[in-house]
Amino acid sequence: MIIAIQGQHRCPCMRFYRSTVSNDKLAGGAAVKKQVLVVDDDLNICREIKDALQDETTDVQYTLPTEKILPEYMRQPFCIVIMDISLTSINGITLLETMRQAKPIPILVLSPVSNTANRVKLLQAGATTVLEKPCDISECLASAQSLMHIYLHSNAAAQGCYTLAFEMDLIIDPSYRKVLLKGKELELTRREFDLLYYLANRSGQVLSREQIYNAVWKNEADYNVDESVKSCIKTLRKKLISHNWDYIQNVRGVGYRFSVPN
């Protein structure tokens, strides 16, 4: 069976799942973290949320003076806002409405008033989800993680990015820029990930070094296109082979082909 997605014929063992970019790997392996903004007058709550959410993939900000909240919100690529609507230094509803009009990111609102009329008011003002305050920290974090996941994947789908799955052997997720080989994560640089995704998304096609370079390196100037591509292919193959898988084939005199091992 050949699967046709968006008018293209694909490898029969490959499945597509709508997927975005969150935990990017830059050249050299450095991570670009998910950005979270917490807006609350209570520093203890801010710290509790930060301690629970922050890790190697997530950065949490909260120590912002009120007058700097909106400028920072506009400047940073936050993927969720967790805010207490009962702020003492600013009208929480006005801030919520302004944030919603400015960006479509999820806003998790904590409110001391949990009746239906108040929840409806907050949702209409721009809240994505409303939790009663005080709330259980585990519920708050679970809600935040779920909203971030939906937001990030929705962004990727809008950009035409898809998770590629070759049965259960190889899964390439552009959302989190993760590659799983037999369930084990493969650490790749940004360039290696982009190269693998480009080849895998064209499984079976023979691609020249020039085609690969133009797609992966884009507008970067390089006087030795062949060597740049060959070097990156070599390091990528070495990582794949170290896990006993080799998906990239040399096609003599032409270029490379991504092929699923039998």
Co-location of 250 and 187 in the same domain: yes
Q: What's the order of all strands across the beta sheet hosting 248-251?
A: 206-208, 255-258, 248-251
Express each pLDDT in 189-216 by its tens digit. Answer: 999 999 999 999 899 999 999 999 999 9
CA angle 58, 150, 197 (to 5 degrees): 75
Strand locations in 122-235 (E): 129-132, 162-166, 170-173, 178-181, 184-185, 206-208
Count the domains in the chain: 2
Co-location of 59 and 10 in the same domain: no
Residue 27 belongs to a domain: no
Co-location of 200 and 170 in the same domain: yes
Co-location of 132 and 192 in the same domain: no
Choice among 44-53, 168-177, 250-259 with the minimum mean pLDDT: 168-177
Residue 25 belongs to a domain: no
What tokens does 120 get?
């409806």
Phi, psi of 55 (to 5 degrees): -155, -160
Co-location of 51 and 151 in the same domain: yes
CA angle 155, 160, 166 (to 5 degrees): 110
Q: What is the pLDDT of residue 209?
A: 93
Co-location of 71 and 142 in the same domain: yes
Co-location of 57 and 151 in the same domain: yes
Residue 197 belongs to a domain: yes
Please determine, for residue 18, whether its predicted confidence score (pLDDT) is greater than 50. no
Co-location of 45 and 142 in the same domain: yes
Question: The domain that contains 197 carries what CATH number?
Answer: 1.10.10.10
Residue 254 belongs to a domain: yes
CA angle 179, 149, 40 (to 5 degrees): 130
92-102 vs 66-75: helix axis angle to the nearest 10? 10
Task: Reply yes or no: is the peptide bond before residue 134 cis, omega within 30 of 0.
Answer: yes
Choice among 14-28, 124-138, 152-166 with the minimum mean pLDDT: 14-28
Residue 215 belongs to a domain: yes
Express each pLDDT in 38-79 by its tens digit. Answer: 988 888 889 999 999 988 778 899 866 777 788 888 888 889
User: Which is nearest to 84 in space by CA: 46, 113, 110?
Assistant: 110
Residue 24 belongs to a domain: no
Question: The domain that contains 53 carries what CATH number?
Answer: 3.40.50.2300
Give the pairing type, strands 178-181 and 170-173. antiparallel
Q: How far apart are CA 132 and CA 26, in angstroms?
A: 39
What tokens does 199 get?
């080849």
- Domain of residue 234: give its range: 3-19+162-258
Residue with tokens 């968006």: 6
pLDDT band for position 150 (cuts 50, 70, 90): confident
Residue 251 belongs to a domain: yes
Co-location of 237 and 150 in the same domain: no
Co-location of 116 and 10 in the same domain: no
What tokens does 251 get?
């096609």
pLDDT band for position 175 (cuts 50, 70, 90): confident
User: Which is nearest to 118 in space by CA: 96, 143, 147?
Assistant: 96
Cα-Cα-Cα-Cα dihedral sign, residues 177, 181, 182, 185: negative
Q: Which of 156, 189, 206 is the last residue of a domain?
A: 156
Co-location of 98 and 190 in the same domain: no
Show Cβ contacts of residue 251 under 8 Å, excluding neighbours closer than 6 positions. Answer: 206, 257
